[in-house]
Amino acid sequence: MKKILYLLGFLILIIAGIFLYYKFFRSSNESKTGSERSFGKLASQLEGLIVKPTKLVQEIEVSGTLQPFDETILMPEVAGRVITLNIQEGKPVTKGALLVKLFDEDLQSQLKMLQVQLQIAENNEQRMKTLFNVKGTSQQEYDASLLQVNNLKAQIDVMKVNIGKTEIKAPYNGIVGLKKISPGQYITPSTQIATIRAVNTLKLDFSIPEKYSHAVRQGNKVEFFISGMDTKFNATIAATEASIESDSRNLNVRALVDANSKGLLPGAFAKVKAVLGSKDDALMIPTSSIVPQASVKKVYVARNGKAAFVTITTGVREADNIEVLSGLKAGDTLVTTGILFIKQNNTLKFSKVK
């Protein structure tokens, strides 16, 4: 009976060993060869691309804003009551045109009084000069009369300046916006009257990332589009900021809109396309052919009929393609499909090579 039990136990151990072998070692081998069987199914369906130099136009698309060439908020220098308001909203005005006049009768009266005093002082100065020439008066008395004349002239100049402060004139040719005051209103130096803008020439302000700052040059052309308008507009880069913004790492750029761009209004949102350069021998590959690693990018290339896993560095990215700076050369055959199942040194057989 004991022999039978020993025999049964030995058979159970053998069966358990066989079960464990099939469960662990065989399944492990199957997982190792699974990808190979998958690759075997795709081996005759692989597609490739012969890398060739092509022309690459480097451009970026950013947001911008249209600005008037000049924009000024009109505000008075002195407080006073509005007696003349010559603002036609939305209408053009010429430089020097009188827009607002404040009450100045008190200043005008003081000016007339000073002018009368000046006339009397000048007559007195002429009499003193005649007497001085015949030694009928001293040098001191003549100098006193001349000083009074000069003093009154200076007071008149100051009074004219004060009267000028009661007039608000257009600083340049432009269009006046909506007025914010009415005739008869008492205003102070903090009161906003209206805004005048020079819109014959518009400015386009936009920002570009720091890495493209070296490619921006004065005189470069840019294109832009306005929401709701199908027309393409052009502008010329006039200047850039002297430094890069530390918070956004962007460079502010200003361009002048071409004079024949009609129908544009300041403040409009613009989609700007700027061409930063071009290459005639750029190597472009599909972004889908790249196998990203922890810190590098790799691709599979056919070398002597075998798969080679090559590290590359990339440059400018387009919608579906990306520039290769190193790792590939013209004439290399790049694997573009089935890259997830390929292993190093797999034999490659392409169904199609572009």
Mean of the per-residue pLDDT values of the chain: 84
CATH code linked to domain 76-101+169-191: 2.40.50.100
Specify the CATH number for 104-165; select among 1.10.260, 1.10.3470, 3.40.50, 1.10.287: 1.10.287
Per CATH, which fold does 61-68+194-278 belong to? Elongation Factor Tu (Ef-tu); domain 3 (2.40.30)
Q: Are 301 and 285 in contact (CB under 8 A)?
A: no
Instruction: Give the pairing type, strands 250-257 and 194-209.
Output: antiparallel
Cα–Cα distance for residue pair 344/328, rounded to 1 Å: 17
| Residues forming CATH 2.40.30.170 domain(s) in the chain | 61-68+194-278
SS3 50: strand
Torsion 107-108-109-114 (CA) sign: positive
* Residue 174 neighbours by CB distance under 10 Å: 22
Averaged pLDDT for residues 37-54: 69
In 3D space, the residue among 267, 213, 252, 259 whose CA is nearest the CA of residue 236 turns out to be 259
Residue 6 is predicted with a pLDDT of 59
Residue 253 is predicted with a pLDDT of 93
Q: Are 62 and 296 in contact (CB under 8 A)?
A: no
Weakest-pLDDT range from 40-54, 297-311, 319-333: 40-54
The Cα angle at residue 248 between residues 244 and 253, in degrees rounded to 5: 50
Q: Are 118 and 149 in contact (CB under 8 A)?
A: yes
| Residues forming CATH 1.10.287 domain(s) in the chain | 104-165
| pLDDT at residue 34 tops 50 | no
Q: pLDDT tens for residues 243-300?
A: 888 888 999 999 999 877 777 888 899 999 888 777 778 888 888 888 888 788 888 8
Residue 328 is predicted with a pLDDT of 84
Residue 28 is predicted with a pLDDT of 47
| pLDDT at residue 19 tops 70 | no
Q: pLDDT tens for residues 113-138?
A: 999 999 999 999 999 888 888 888 88
| Burial class of 94 by CB neighbour count within 10 A (0 to 12, 13 to 18, 19+) | exposed
Residue 103 is predicted with a pLDDT of 96
Q: How confident is the model at residue 11 (pLDDT cuts 50, 70, 90)?
A: low
Residue 20 is predicted with a pLDDT of 55
Averaged pLDDT for residues 219-229: 88
Residue 18 is predicted with a pLDDT of 66
Calculate what percentage of the chain has a pLDDT beyond 70. 87
DSSP string, 231-255: --EEEEEEEE-SS--TTT-EEEEEE
| Burial class of 69 by CB neighbour count within 10 A (0 to 12, 13 to 18, 19+) | middle
Averaged pLDDT for residues 229-252: 89
Averaged pLDDT for residues 193-222: 89
Residue 321 is predicted with a pLDDT of 83
Q: Please give the model's pTM, rounded to 2 decimal places.
A: 0.63
SS (H, E, C) 109-124: HHHHHHHHHHHHHHHH
| pLDDT at residue 234 tops 50 | yes
